[in-house]
């Protein structure tokens, strides 16, 4: 439900009124997905105190 100045209006009613007036609702921009990062194998220390 959408509220504006004390009026409770349903989403479908707003869509129908916009269509009748020839208006268009703003479409949401698609979310950009993060690029897949290929992980490298962990370094295995060969000596003490080596990281």
The domain segmentation of the chain, as residue ranges, is: 1-25
What contacts 3, CB < 8 A, 6 or more positions away?
9
Which pLDDT value is given to residue 3? 60
What's the pLDDT tens digit per position in 7-51?
Answer: 777 888 888 888 888 887 777 777 887 777 777 888 888 888 887
Cα 1 to Cα 7, 12, 16, 35, 43, distances in angstroms: 10, 9, 14, 36, 55
Distance CA 20, CA 5 (A): 22
């Amino acid at each position: 439900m959408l509220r504006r100045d004390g009026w409770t209006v349903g989403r479908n009613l707003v869509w129908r009124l916009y269509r009748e007036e020839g208006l268009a609702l703003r479409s949401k921009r698609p979310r950009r997905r993060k690029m897949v990062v290929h992980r490298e194998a962990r370094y295995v220390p060969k000596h003490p105190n080596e990281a």
